């Protein structure tokens, strides 16, 4: 079963991505996420499992217990520019 990009039907390639999530005015950056990325338009798709992990991480982040996760997660000043 080969999944296609929902946006442009392009080919999806497995890649490691970074997600920026805004929570309560702060910016949480989660790196080291496995996703499928469209080679044409760059749309990234994370699977259900990864989505759950992101959810857990956001929960931990809100409760300030973010250490010891498998992801590279850090908080940056939301006003600061995001360096690629």
**Binding region for Zn ion (CB under 5 A) out of 14-22, 31-39, 52-60, 70-78:** 31-39
Token duo for residue 11: 């080919």
By three-state DSSP, how is residue 60 classified? helix
C-alpha 53/C-alpha 40 separation (Å) is: 27
Applying CB under 5 A, among 3, 7, 62, 74 the residue interacting with Zn ion is 7
* Residue among 45 and 58 whose Cβ is closer to Zn ion: 45
Is 8 among the residues that bind Zn ion (CB under 5 A)? Answer: yes
With binding defined as CB under 5 A, does residue 41 bind Zn ion? yes
- Least Å distance between CB 41 and Zn ion? 3
Residues 6+ apart with CB under 8 A from 39: 10, 11, 12, 13
């Amino acid at each position: 079963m080969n999944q296609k990009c929902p946006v442009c039907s392009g080919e999806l390639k497995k890649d490691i991505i970074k997600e920026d999530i805004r929570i309560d005015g702060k910016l949480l950056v989660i790196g080291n996420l496995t996703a499928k990325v469209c080679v044409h338009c760059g749309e990234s798709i994370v699977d259900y499992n990864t989505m759950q992990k992101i959810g857990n991480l956001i929960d931990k982040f809100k409760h300030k217990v973010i250490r010891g996760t498998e992801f590279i997660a850090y908080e940056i000043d939301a006003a600061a520019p995001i360096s690629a």
